[in-house]
Structures are given as C-alpha cells and as structure tokens.
C-alpha cells in the first residue's frame, strides 16, 4: 500500500494517520481532491478499524414527524409546506403522534427520533406534551428530538433563550438532539440554500449549550450540491473545534443531497464515489468524534454497506416511517427490521452490534445455526 499511497500523493498524510496526528485544513482539501479514492478509503479504514475493529452499530428506532408546516424555505427541502393551507401540509394532534408509538407496542424500540417543520402556529406546550406523552407510553425510551434549528426557532418564536428552551424540553423528557439542520455552515452556501433559518454559528452554539447541560448530540452535513471542497472541510473543522471544547458530539452523519421535488432539482445527486469519499474524509478529519454514521436511507443500502470500509462504523437504525428522504426521491425501503440490518452488516463483512442512542451495546446478535 505504501507505493500506492506515494503514487496518490498521500504519503505524508499516511504518515500522520499512522502516527495519530491531527490533519490540517489543506490536507482535508487534498483528501477530497486526490484522484485515488481507494487510497483515501484505505486510510480512513485504518482509523475505523483502530477505533472499532469490524464492529458496526445500529439501533432499533422510530422516526416521527408531527408537522411538515415550516416557515423556512430551504431550497433542498421536499418535505416542508410553507403554510398549513398548502397541498400536502399536515399537522398531527399530540394524540395522533402518540398513536404512532402505541402502534409499536411490543417492539423493542430504544429510540424515537422526531424532527418537525418550523410551525409558527403551535403553542410551545405542543412539544412538551409530545415529549411527556412519548415518555408516558415508554418510560425507558430515549427521545432524540428537535434539531438545533428547531431549538433556535422555539427560542425566537416563544421569547425564550436557547438554554431555557433546552432546559424546558429536557424537563419534559428530551434526552438528546439529532444532527439535522447543519447543512453547510459556510455563509456563502447557507445564504443560497437556506437563508431564512438559523446560521451555522447559532447551530454550533445550540449544540454547545446542549453539551453544557449534559446532553449528547449528533451533527450532520448536507453535501453534493453547490458547496466547494474547502467549504466541506471548513464545516468538518468547525465541528472538530466544537468537539475539542465539549466532547458532546456522538456521531457525524454525512447526508447526500437528493434532488427530487425541491427547488434544487436541476442539480444531479452526488455519485456513490463522492459519498464514499465524504465518509472517509470525515473519518480522517474528525479525530475526536467516535462514530461516523452511514445513514442508509440517504446513501442507499449498498453504498452504506460499502461505506463500512470507508470510515463508517454505524448504520443508524430500523427507522420505520421515514418521509424526508422519500419525498426527495430516495428509493430505499422506508424501514428495515433489525434482522435485515444485521444481515446486511454481515454481508458487508462486518460485525453487527445493536446499540442504544448513547452507544451502549444492548444486544450482540448471534449467528443463526445452520
């Protein structure tokens, strides 16, 4: 491999990877631009295997969306409806949302992942009632709900500070924040694709506050549209700097842009090679984040399996009722069973481990006897 890394112009970076040294901004850009994708993937896999060997995590989770009414106008979004009277707009009652969890009675779910549109017409109690209701139905379930963008919206809309919102939601049962809403932090891109929601600094500030009160969070990046490689690296390094401060990020999730049914539909979706490279470079640059998640709904099952050899060690979960990606053209199933996920991890040559949201192992799947 040494000769191949040298031919790829990556020998110096390979030396740093072997020594466990931190990579720089310029090295990040070089990794995105290096023609030999497999050399980049090989380096990321070294780190992945050093941290996790062949272990690959997944969880048994349920996606919920209470409303798609959203006052933000992100150009990439196929899910949101600006006002309640728009065709396809929906807002469930608290009881209707709770019924979705009740319908899963008996399933060993460990997590509810809920994100919503920024609905200007609901009281704050709608969200606290949702959290309290979900916890009442399943006291042990982990509630990973509301992106940093939603937290910032709640603060502005209901006249609270970001910290007050986090504390009041935590009081009602919120356990952690998902990573959505990050898109690309660079103002040049954010002004174009999501100009009217919280900016990158506020996203990071909300995560910092959440970490400060003991909540763990995930972070994402929406890639494969109008961003440059330097803007991708900038995004990753801002997350790395936050993690140096707080250690509160659990997982980074690259999200591949899907062009159907949104205002960026003229752009092509990023190719699988870009997705593999994105996971690999994230693994290489985010030396202080434990987990890189290949979200199979976003990148497709086969590419997610391959990403397990390009730096990723997590596949998210069973998901069950996903809509954001399916409205944007994802052709993956909307749910997988835990048996399906275990099998596809094994088929990829890795070792499945069922985790909870905080990465405690809840089950080590056994190989069926044949």
Applying CB under 6 A, the residues found at the interface with ligand V47 are 76-78, 115, 147, 178-181, 183, 218, 220, 222, 253, 255, 257-258, 262, 295, 316, 324, 328
Contacts of 124 by beta carbon, 8 Å cutoff, 6+ apart: 154, 158, 160, 168
Tell me the closest approach of the beta carbon of residue 82 to ligand V47, in angstroms.
15
Task: Report the residue number, 254 or 352, with the smaller CB distance to ligand V47.
Answer: 254
* DSSP code, position 58: E
Tell me the closest approach of the beta carbon of residue 3 to ligand V47, in angstroms.
38
Task: Report the residue number, 55 or 216, with the smaller CB distance to ligand V47.
Answer: 216
The tokens describing 162, both together, are: 């970001």
**In whole angstroms, what is the distance from residue 89 CA to residue 150 CA?**
18
Residue nearest to ligand V47 (CB): 180
Tell me the closest approach of the beta carbon of residue 144 to ligand V47, in angstroms.
7
Residue in this structure with the two tokens 């139905």, named with its chain if needed: 137
**In whole angstroms, what is the distance from residue 147 CA to residue 339 CA?**
29
Tell me the closest approach of the beta carbon of residue 190 to ligand V47, in angstroms.
12
Task: Report the residue number, 5 or 298, with the smaller CB distance to ligand V47.
Answer: 298
The tokens describing 45, both together, are: 């896999």
Residue in this structure with the two tokens 């997705």, named with its chain if needed: 275
Task: Report the residue number, 125 or 273, with the smaller CB distance to ligand V47.
Answer: 273
Tell me the closest approach of the beta carbon of residue 222 to ligand V47, in angstroms.
4
Class of residue 267 by CB neighbours under 10 A (exposed 0-12, middle 13-18, buried 19+): middle
**Whether the Cβ atoms of residue 318 and residue 338 lie closer than 8 Å to each other:** yes
Tell me the closest approach of the beta carbon of residue 166 to ligand V47, in angstroms.
16
Pairing of strands 216-223, 249-256: parallel
Tell me the closest approach of the beta carbon of residue 114 to ligand V47, in angstroms.
11
Tell me the closest approach of the beta carbon of residue 253 to ligand V47, in angstroms.
5
Tell me the closest approach of the beta carbon of residue 217 to ligand V47, in angstroms.
8
Task: Report the residue number, 13 or 255, with the smaller CB distance to ligand V47.
Answer: 255
**In whole angstroms, what is the distance from residue 144 CA to residue 218 CA?**
10
The 3-state DSSP class for residue 71 equals: coil
**In whole angstroms, what is the distance from residue 192 CA to residue 181 CA?**
15
Task: Report the residue number, 181 or 352, with the smaller CB distance to ligand V47.
Answer: 181
The tokens describing 245, both together, are: 């401060």
Task: Report the residue number, 293 or 350, with the smaller CB distance to ligand V47.
Answer: 293
Contacts of 343 by beta carbon, 8 Å cutoff, 6+ apart: none
**Whether the Cβ atoms of residue 184 and residue 229 lie closer than 8 Å to each other:** no
Task: Report the residue number, 127 or 257, with the smaller CB distance to ligand V47.
Answer: 257
Pairing of strands 361-363, 351-355: antiparallel
Candidates 356, 341, 266, 345; CA nearest to 312 is: 345
Task: Report the residue number, 276 or 328, with the smaller CB distance to ligand V47.
Answer: 328
Tell me the closest approach of the beta carbon of residue 159 to ligand V47, in angstroms.
25
Q: What is the CA radius of gyration of the chain?
A: 20
Alpha carbon of residue 163 to chain centroid: 22
Task: Report the residue number, 23 or 324, with the smaller CB distance to ligand V47.
Answer: 324
């Amino acid at each position: 491999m040494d000769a191949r890394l040298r031919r790829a112009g990556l020998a110096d970076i390979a030396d740093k990877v072997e020594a466990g040294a931190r990579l720089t901004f310029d090295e990040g850009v070089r990794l995105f631009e290096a023609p030999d994708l497999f050399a980049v993937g090989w380096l990321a896999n070294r780190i992945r295997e050093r941290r996790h060997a062949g272990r690959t995590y997944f969880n048994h989770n349920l996606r919920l969306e209470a409303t798609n009414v959203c006052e933000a106008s992100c150009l990439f979004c196929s899910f949101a409806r600006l006002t309640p009277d728009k065709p396809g707009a929906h807002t469930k009652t608290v009881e209707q949302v709770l019924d979705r969890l009740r319908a899963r009675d008996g399933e060993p779910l460990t997590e509810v992942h809920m994100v919503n549109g920024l609905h200007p017409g609901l009281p704050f109690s709608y969200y606290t009632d949702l959290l309290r209701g979900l916890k009442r139905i399943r006291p042990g379930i982990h509630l990973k709900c509301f992106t940093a963008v939603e937290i910032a919206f709640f603060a502005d809309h209901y006249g609270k500070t970001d910290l007050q919102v986090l504390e009041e939601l935590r009081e009602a049962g919120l356990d952690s924040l998902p990573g959505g809403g990050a898109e690309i932090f660079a103002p040049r891109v954010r002004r174009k694709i999501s100009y009217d929601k919280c900016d990158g600094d506020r996203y990071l500030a909300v995560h910092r506050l959440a970490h400060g009160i003991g909540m763990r969070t995930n972070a994402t990046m929406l890639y494969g549209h109008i961003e440059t490689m330097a803007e991708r690296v900038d995004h990753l390094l801002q997350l790395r700097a936050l993690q140096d401060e707080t250690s509160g990020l659990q997982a980074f999730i690259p999200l591949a842009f899907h062009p159907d049914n949104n205002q960026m539909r003229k752009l092509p979706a990023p190719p699988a090679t870009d997705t593999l490279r994105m996971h690999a470079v994230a693994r290489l640059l985010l030396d202080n984040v434990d987990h890189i998640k290949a979200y199979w709904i976003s990148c497709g099952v086969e590419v997610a399996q391959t990403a397990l050899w390009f730096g990723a060690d997590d596949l998210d979960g069973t998901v069950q009722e996903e809509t954001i990606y399916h409205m944007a053209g994802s052709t993956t199933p909307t749910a997988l069973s835990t048996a399906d996920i275990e099998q596809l991890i094994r088929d990829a040559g890795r070792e499945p481990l069922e985790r909870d949201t905080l990465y405690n192992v809840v089950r080590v799947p056994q190989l069926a006897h044949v």
